[in-house]
Amino acid sequence: MNIANEKQLAARATELGNSAAASAFTELAELARSTSPLVRRLTASALGKLAGIVPTDEAVKVLHPLLRDQHPQVRQYTAKALGAFGAAAKVALPDLRDLYSNPVERDYVKRSVLAAGKLIRSALDIAEQQAVHLCQRCGVKLEPDEYVRSHKAFQRPFCNYCFDEVFLERRNFETKVELQKNIRAKDGTWVQSDGERLICEALDAEGINYRYDERFRILDGYAIRPDFYLPEFDVYIEYWGMDTADYKIGMLKKQQLYQQQGKRLISLYPADKPCMRSTLLEKLRQYR
């Protein structure tokens, strides 16, 4: 894109942001796909200014992918814009958390991310105070303290009785997973399979920081536990090490969730073990 054209599109994005017109959305959605980071940044800013005027859900869908933009100022202005959409931007909270916890993210981006997260959560709190919640398991109406307790622990609504059942199930699952970690990688990480050991050692050899089996993430209402997360690249790695029918069904569902949420996923398989390091680096190269 030549400089003159970039300036023209940038000026247009600014003009649309100041228009206070719902009709500006269609053109801004196109500008969000511009090859110019300046235009994308000003487009994000414009959408934030038009919060409450342009179609809310559609605007959030346009903004959300820009949180993963290669240019930090685009990420910064996108976070600011999403904060203006309040509770409707709930879907962006996991990505905002990842940006904030990324050790290589710029400080000014983190400040905008933190502010946006607070705005979104505040809006959600107000909405929750006005909502009626039912237990996901038994269907009874929840008291406010029951909802707060279960949402904080599981991001799902449970009455106190069902909460205790879910807590025990989750604790038993956690214990089972920990007991299965009986293979030690060279960096001292205990893993569940030889394939995961090879992944650990490949990442460690390349000096790539990773988190292994660290936490649950909620994607589209489902709790998932990524095998690996690379904060520097905002990339997830799953090692699909089994070949049963039930396992494959779960694998396909999990891959679909990653795709629907726009997550960067690298899938690795037992067939990759002989050349795990080179295969992993080749797949990671697209995100560098």
Specify the CATH number for the domain of residue 84: 1.25.10.10
DSSP per-residue codes, 182-248: -EE-TTS-EESSHHHHHHHHHHHHTT---EES---EEETTEEE--SEEETTTTEEEEE-----HHHH
Tell whether 149 and 191 lie within a shared domain: no
User: Is the confidence at residue 148, as pLDDT, over 80?
Assistant: no
Q: Which domain holds residue 206?
A: 181-287
The CATH number of the domain holding residue 258 is 3.40.960.10
Tell whether 15 and 83 lie within a shared domain: yes
Tell whether 46 and 86 lie within a shared domain: yes
| Coil, helix or strand at residue 264 | strand
pLDDT in tens, 26-59: 999 999 999 999 999 999 999 999 998 999 999 9
Radius of gyration of the chain (CA): 22
**In a domain? residue 101:** yes
pTM (whole model) above 0.75? no
Asked if residues 44 and 18 have their Cβ atoms less than 8 Å apart, the reply is: no
Report d(CA 185, CA 198) in Å as an integer. Answer: 8
Tell whether 37 and 12 lie within a shared domain: yes
What integer is the mean pLDDT of 87-116? 94
Q: Residue 194: which of 253, 269, 129, 256 has the closest Cα?
A: 269
**Alpha-helix residue ranges (DSSP H) falling in the chain:** 3-17, 24-31, 37-49, 56-63, 72-84, 93-101, 107-129, 144-154, 160-179, 194-205, 245-260, 276-284
**What does pLDDT average to over the chain?**
90
Min mean pLDDT across 14-23, 38-47, 244-253 is at 244-253
pLDDT confidence of 125, banded at 50, 70, 90?
A: confident
pLDDT confidence of 3, banded at 50, 70, 90?
A: confident
- As a whole number of Å, the end-to-end CA separation of the chain is 23
Tell whether 197 and 282 lie within a shared domain: yes
Give me the count of residues in the chain. Answer: 288
155 backbone φψ class: left, alpha, beta (φ>0; ψ -120 to 50): left
Q: How many domains does the chain have?
A: 3
Q: Residue 186: which of 172, 203, 162 has the closest Cα?
A: 203
**In a domain? residue 249:** yes
**In a domain? residue 64:** yes
